[in-house]
């Protein structure tokens, strides 16, 4: 049964056609700093993306951390929300927009008020945790959360290629107080 479950998860992820757009690469590259946010498992996945962005050399912070600096018009907020309706995430995007910054939404919901607030949206496979869509046999937001993690890795590879960043350069930015 475990092998079958593994193949199911990998099969659902591989059936999606998701690409990293040049606009997304430019959005991150041009940002002074990158802030990330997500709730629950989506939040964990977006934090993994934040780690890679930091290793790519981008100043990055997780919203809500005690050392998070003030968000400015020169910054980018990347949020992950499968439903695109998580109240705390909507509130963060509204605030970032009022401050004049850029917003990027990673979501499984094609049409939402939140998508209309941001500058860039990337549609990932999956569903919101309480939707009845049948594009996955996995419970709640599992497929979306997995897709956020893997999209972060795909973005990292594309960014490395676009801006000629080597793994050895990234390793210099890897945590060393472990």
pLDDT digits (tens, 9 = 90+) for 115-159: 999 999 999 998 776 666 667 888 788 899 999 999 999 999 999
In a domain, 176, yes or no: no
Residue 2 pLDDT class (50, 70, 90 cuts): very low
Residue 77 pLDDT class (50, 70, 90 cuts): very high
State the helix-helix crossing angle for 142-162 and 22-30, rounded to 10 degrees: 70
Q: How does DSSP assign 61-121, residue by residue?
A: EETT-TT-----TT-EEEEE-SSS--HHHHHHHHHHHHTT-EEEEEES-SS-HHHHHSSEE
The whole-model pTM stands at 0.93
Q: Shortest CA distance to 78 belongs to which of 173, 135, 155, 160?
A: 155
In a domain, 12, yes or no: no
Q: Which domain holds residue 63?
A: 27-168
Q: How far apart are CA 144 and CA 83, in angstroms?
A: 10
Higher pLDDT, 160 or 1: 160
In a domain, 80, yes or no: yes
- What's the structural domain count of the chain? 1
CATH code, domain with 154: 3.40.50.10490
Q: What is the pLDDT of residue 135?
A: 74
pLDDT digits 0-9 by tens, 20-62 = 999 999 999 999 999 999 999 999 999 999 999 999 999 999 9
Q: What is the pLDDT of residue 3?
A: 54
**Where do the H-state alpha helices sit in the chain?**
2-14, 22-30, 40-55, 87-98, 113-117, 142-162, 167-172
Within 10 A of 130 (CB to CB), how many other CB atoms are there? 10
Residue 95 pLDDT class (50, 70, 90 cuts): very high
In a domain, 37, yes or no: yes
In a domain, 68, yes or no: yes
In a domain, 117, yes or no: yes
Q: What percent of the chain has pLDDT over 70?
A: 95
Of 54-63, 88-97, 146-155, 169-178, give the lowest mean pLDDT range: 169-178
12 is catalytic: no
Q: What is the pLDDT of residue 151?
A: 95
Mean pLDDT value across the chain: 91
User: Over 70: is that where the pLDDT of 12 sits?
Assistant: yes
In a domain, 118, yes or no: yes
Catalytic residue among 145, 167, 169, 178: 145
State the helix-helix crossing angle for 40-55 and 142-162, rounded to 10 degrees: 10
Place of tokens 């695109």: 84
User: Over 50: is that where the pLDDT of 1 sits?
Assistant: no
In a domain, 148, yes or no: yes
Cα within 13 Å of Cα(34), Cβ side = 26
Q: How far apart are CA 113 and CA 134, in angstroms?
A: 22
C-alpha 157: how far from its chain's center?
14
C-alpha 142: how far from its chain's center?
14
């Amino acid at each position: 049964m475990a092998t079958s479950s593994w193949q199911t998860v990998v099969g659902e992820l591989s059936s999606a056609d998701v690409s990293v757009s040049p606009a997304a690469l430019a959005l991150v590259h041009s940002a002074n700093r990158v802030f990330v946010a997500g709730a629950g498992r989506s939040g964990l996945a977006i934090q993994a993306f934040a780690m890679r962005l930091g290793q790519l050399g981008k100043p990055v912070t997780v919203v809500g951390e005690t050392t998070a600096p003030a968000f400015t018009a020169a910054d980018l907020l990347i949020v992950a929300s499968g439903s695109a309706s998580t109240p705390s995430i909507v509130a963060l995007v509204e605030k970032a927009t009022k401050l004049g910054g850029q917003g990027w939404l990673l979501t499984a919901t094609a049409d939402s008020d939140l998508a209309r607030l941001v500058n860039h949206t990337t549609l990932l496979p999956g569903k919101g945790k309480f939707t009845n869509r049948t594009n996955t046999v996995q419970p709640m937001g599992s497929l979306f959360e997995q897709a956020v993690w893997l999209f972060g890795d795909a973005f990292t590879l594309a960014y490395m290629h676009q801006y000629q960043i080597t793994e050895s350069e990234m390793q210099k930015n890897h945590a060393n107080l472990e």
